[in-house]
Amino acid sequence: MAEMTYLEAISDGLREEMRRDETVFCLGEDIGAFGGAFKITEGFAEEFGAERVLDTPLAENLIIGAATGAAIEGLRPICEMQFADFISCGFDQLVNVAAKLHYRQGVSVPMVVRLPSGGGFSGGPFHSQNPEAWFLQAPGLKVLAPATAADAKGLLTSAIRDPNPVCFLEHKGLYRRVKGEVPAGEHTVPIGEAAVAREGSEMSLIAYGSSVHLGLQAAEELGEDIEVIDLRTLCPLDREAVLASARKTGKVLLAHEATRSCGVGAELAALIAEQAFEDLDAPIRRLTAPDVPIPFSPPLEQAVLPQLEQIKEACRELLAY
């Protein structure tokens, strides 16, 4: 075990897998000698050589498409989108080619697409998005969104070893802000399993990514018996964990930074309403970004992204219901 940041944990997981398995390689923009926009692959080119830390031209369809071909042939490519937003430029290859190949033809595509996502630093409308719902409507993609350093490493390792295309959302706001104990050496976290981040019995706060930390902070500051569920994987969704917590507490707050309509929260609300309705003691609440692009100016961005005080207020209301 060693304490490291979320960012260091991602680097550590990548490095471990590249050392363990020579078929694993990274490709993306500025990831080689430069080490990547966020320095995830800093030092990798020196250790693994330029070919396994492959600098690509500025062409996201190429990154995803070439990774798809290489994965079909048995390599384990890890694509870095410089920002998650740029997956829009590689979307066709991801959702039409990679995602559907196994269903259509039995061809497995073991690849990872790393997606630095999220706002909170005046990145504006094209460097702050949370695109997870785009992928959830494309059957054939697994979607991960770790919140802790240990999970970031463990889920990334599992993603690299998975025989399917995996979208790995790494929230930029967590990169250097979140630290934690991370197992040294090989560390995997199973895909498709949520975690109870904080046990409680009065209400459930179900979240993923950055919202997990807001939820934990809110629960601590309120000093209430709030359970915080960290989804960790968005597809395949751990429905049992969600339903178990909802049934246990009877009150559910769903929180995420992505926009509201048809988001993960909407899916969870429908799931709980369909399968745990009789156990509910209050209407299901959602706290999300509104359906707007992420604005640039700090006061505007803060007006859009879920804030700690809003989560606390929603918790108070639910607890009092």
Partner 1 sequence: MTLSELSATRGAAPAADSRLLAREDRARLFRFMAMMRAAEERGLLLYKQGKVPGSFYDGRGQEAICVGAAYALAPRDRICILHRDLGAHFVRGVTPDRYLANYMGRSGGVTGGKDGNMHFGDRRLGCVGMVSMLPDMALVATGLALAFRMRREARVAMTFFGEGSTANGQWHEAMNFAAIHRLPVVFVLENNQFAYSTPNDLEFAADPIGRAEAYGFPGQKLDGNDVEAVFEAAAAAVERARAGEGPTLLECETMRMHGHGAHDDMSYVPEGMLDRWAQRDPIERYAERLTADFGFSEAEVEGIREEVRSYVDECAEKALASPMPEPEIATEGVFAERWEPLGDGEAPWSRWSRDTSNGAGRLPERSAA
* Residues marked as catalytic: 127
Q: Are 31 and 77 in contact (CB under 8 A)?
A: no
Q: Is 103 in the site for partner 1 (CB under 8 A)?
A: yes
Residues in contact with partner 1, total (CB under 8 A)?
Answer: 40
Nearest to 258 by CA among 193, 196, 210, 214: 210
Q: Is 190 in the site for partner 1 (CB under 8 A)?
A: no
**Using CA atoms, how far apart are residues 28 and 66, in angstroms rounded to an integer?**
11
Please pick, from the candidates 13, 28, 32, 110, the single residue that binds partner 1 as defined by CB under 8 A: 110
Tell me whether residue 20 or residue 104 sits nearer to partner 1 (CB atom).
Answer: 104
Of the candidate spans 70-78, 120-128, 196-204, 243-251, the one that interacts with partner 1 by CB under 8 A turns out to be 70-78
Is the dihedral angle over the CA atoms 14, 54, 175, 89 positive or is it negative?
negative
Q: How many CB atoms lie within 10 A of CB 240?
A: 10
Please pick, from the candidates 1, 2, 59, 308, the single residue that binds partner 1 as defined by CB under 8 A: 59
Q: Is 107 in the site for partner 1 (CB under 8 A)?
A: yes
Q: Is 96 in the site for partner 1 (CB under 8 A)?
A: yes
Of the candidate spans 37-45, 92-100, 182-190, 278-286, the one that interacts with partner 1 by CB under 8 A turns out to be 92-100
Q: Residue 194 carries which side chain, given as an amino acid letter?
A: A
> Measured from the CB of residue 101, what is the shortest distance to partner 1 in angstroms?
7
Tokens of 301: 């961005």
**Using CA atoms, how far apart are residues 38 and 297, in angstroms rounded to an integer?**
22
> Measured from the CB of residue 110, what is the shortest distance to partner 1 in angstroms?
5
Tokens of 31: 């990831």
Residues in the chain: 321
Q: Is 164 in the site for partner 1 (CB under 8 A)?
A: yes
Task: Mark 131-160 with x for binding to partner 1 (rule: CB under 8 A) and - for no binding.
Answer: --------xx-x------------------
DSSP string of 216-244, one letter each residue: HHHHHHHT--EEEEE--EEETT-HHHHHH
Tokens of 211: 């919202």
Element (H, E) at 165: strand 165-171
Q: Is 100 in the site for partner 1 (CB under 8 A)?
A: yes
Residues that bind partner 1 (CB under 8 A): 25, 51-52, 56-57, 59, 61-62, 64-75, 92-93, 96-97, 100-110, 139-140, 142, 163-164
